[in-house]
Structure 1
């Protein structure tokens, strides 16, 4: 999770009412045009978030005590703190709705930047799971669920209706472990099969794929890698010497 806190934003502690539990989380969007410049400039995302808070604090009709949302999610996968954990949202429409669910807004709008990136969806999911760890229930709803609005827009709402799954592209793949790497003999056998046997031999092809995986693998202990490469070189030299004798 890539969290940007209120302190990092230069904001004081939220003065929003405290709340220790909810039924879950409601997902929002800005509902106004959002510049596509946010896609290329994370600093623009921070500026957008600060501008949202400034506009809410300037709204005398609503009389917000803080930015209305508990968190925001930007296209680069950052979760931006708003009211934060344990604070009642001001975004869901009325006091009853605000007590029922926390609120997370994706920085997308009605025009311009309208479709959330996978990184943004991952950040919203990060926020949902963080709030669940601190008293939120399991419900995930769109703002339009229970309130007459287009929020959170078509693309975000379609994702919510699917259960707000975490995109696979935001889930880091586990690094290969040393036990999964081929041995020096396996790599030498692969080179032998490629150079001196049939180029279509399945064993050689599969082994070469394993060899390529090994050669892309990086380990913190460079001495171990160098030692293994040295063993590979020695094995290749022995194979070449044997082929010459034949």
Structure 2
């Protein structure tokens, strides 16, 4: 993590003592909500980022209506991926909209806005993840990662950043979790062909077929079924064909591909 402490970015002292908190349910992601120059993302513009954090702290401290003690955010992240310590870990944020919301989540603000620089850079997304993981490790933040608008009526953190949050806030280039593997479906015996049955085969497929015919209420066996194809198998299969609505030569007891598929004989 490219961490910039309060002392390193030149933070002013808090107006009054910040409220300490033992832990949170997680972190909420914010954006500045005003114009951020697109040029701030240029590689040679990083020297402007600390000054931007100082300006935001000064603006918050001067806001008599909100009566902020300090910069409202737990941390800020610039387009170059640096994490600027705001109120920091174990201190209640002032950015989430109300005292209960501020106690429930830390607040990490990305230097993107509603115009100009609106898309977070890959380095910035890495930085936001760094800030979240820092607050989890040092601030006992829970696993929730949400947007400011989750729980408070606001457009923050803007469309692009909120879409990233809704995807689970992944690091750029990370392989998405595919989730649990699908449960394999049942496997059935393919149709062996009518000629195969007419050759009076001896096979476990015949036994499996007979068991399915008995399960369908179509068994005409005195014993078995067994692996040897017999007239009892043909009579049982004819009963199944009639159950499927077939008549005449369609119910002659010789398996066909459609009735075989419907019977779903398990793979042996």
TM-score by length of 1: 0.67
Q: Which residue of 2 aligns with 1:30?
A: 32
Q: Which residue of 1 aligns with 2:9?
A: 9
Distance 1:29 1:10 in 2: 21
Q: Which residue of 2 aligns with 1:39?
A: 41
Q: Select 1:166's aligned residue among 163, 171, 175.
A: 171
CA deviations 1:79-109 (Å, max 9, x no partner) are: 0110011110000000010011000000000
- Asked if structure 2 preserves the Cα contact closer than 8 Å seen for 1:56 and 1:64, the reply is yes
1:168 CA drift (Å) = 2.5
CA deviations 1:11-38 (Å, max 9, x no partner) are: 2565321112000000000000111121
1:49 CA drift (Å) = 1.1
Q: Select 2:145's aligned residue among 130, 135, 140.
A: 140
Distance 1:20 1:12 in 2: 24
Structure showing greater Rg: 2
Q: Which residue of 2 aligns with 1:155?
A: 160
Question: Any residues of structure 2 matched to 1:1-246 within 5 Å, and which?
Answer: 1-11=1-11, 14=14, 15-40=17-42, 41-133=45-137, 134-168=139-173
- Asked if structure 1 preserves the Cα contact closer than 8 Å seen for 2:10 and 2:54, the reply is no
Distance 1:47 1:18 in 2: 27
Indicate the SS of the match to 1:168. coil
1:68 CA drift (Å) = 0.1
CA spacing shift, 1:127–1:81, aligned 2, 3 Å: same
Structure 2 gaps of 5+ residues are: 175-268
Which of the pair has the greater relative contact order for Cα pairs under 8 Å at 6+ separation? 1
Q: Which residue of 2 aligns with 1:194?
A: none
Indicate the SS of the match to 2:76. strand
Distance 1:7 1:19 in 2: 22
1:156 CA drift (Å) = 0.4
How many residue pairs match? The answer is: 169
> Which structure's residues are more often helix, by fraction?
1
TM-score by length of 2: 0.61
- Please tell me the root mean square deviation across aligned C-alpha atoms, in Å: 1.2
- Asked if structure 2 preserves the Cα contact closer than 8 Å seen for 1:70 and 1:104, the reply is yes
